[in-house]
Amino acid sequence: MALTDTQLERYARHIVLKEIGGAGQQKLMRARVLVIGAGGLGSPALLYLAAAGVGTIGIVDDDAVSLSNLQRQIIHDTDNIDRSKTESAAEAIARLNPEVKVELHTARLTAQNALDLISQYDIVADGCDNFSTRFLVSDACYLARKPLVSAAVGPFEGQLSTFKPYEQDEEGTPLPTYRCLVPEAPPPGSFPTCETAGIIGALTGVMGSLQALEVIKEIAGAGTGLMGKLLIYDALDTRFRTIRLKRDPANPLNGEGARITDLAHHA
């Protein structure tokens, strides 16, 4: 597709980058990205993906905007309290970049709809706030062979990785899955919720922006991704570190005795 004069101006700072250029910008404009959650992580991720010119953005969230969200969920504002987060986010994206097509999925992701929904997109950015959804998204992305950029936050900590467990490394070993990082969901109540533990608002901006950046890199084919690596950010010490994430041969998704072939176990 040829870029219009308006698009050439809007995306000029991308186009002059040799790692992106006109070809990379066209890839972004053709891309379909699904964002799970329009909350703390999803807010900056959605804004930067829209600003980058991602052609179609799907948003999955069944929640409504509340006053306590606004300390960190910057895509929403006071006037949208009690509105669905998907509608609120779509309006903000339209104001920022009206060329972006937004597809609203105002529903909870389930074993019944996850695979069909994820299969409609090129890449998934998961910013949900619970382990059950994270495992569901991870398994569905593997079965649909879709890249997954997963971010998570605690009160002052964040982590980020990209998962392509359906691909292999240079030695022919399958790449790790989310289940290699977290083998199984912890018992309910073992981790404090955001409501009880608190969270510093700007941390979600850091991690959600990094998540959007990794999605953009994956689409444009720029730089080195986070496959097989886990990026950890300590906001209190202002420290980033990256550790190697190894495949667990015992994981049930792509391990030696892989047994997950559908999403029935999530029902």
Please list the active-site residues. 194
Element of type H or E holding 202: helix 201-220
Report how far apart, in Å, the C-alpha atoms of 214 and of each of 24, 49, 59, 124, 191 are: 14, 10, 18, 11, 27
Q: Helix or strand or coil: residue 111?
A: coil
- Annotate 54-106 with DSSP letters as a single string: -SEEEEE---B--GGGGGT-TT--GGGTTSBHHHHHHHHHHHH-TTSEEEEE-
In degrees, to the nearest 5, what angle opens at C-alpha 240 toward C-alphas 225 and 130?
75
Report how far apart, in Å, the C-alpha atoms of 207 and of each of 83, 141, 183, 230 are: 25, 21, 23, 13
Residue pair 58/217 in contact by the 8 Å Cβ criterion: no
Residue pair 58/120 in contact by the 8 Å Cβ criterion: yes
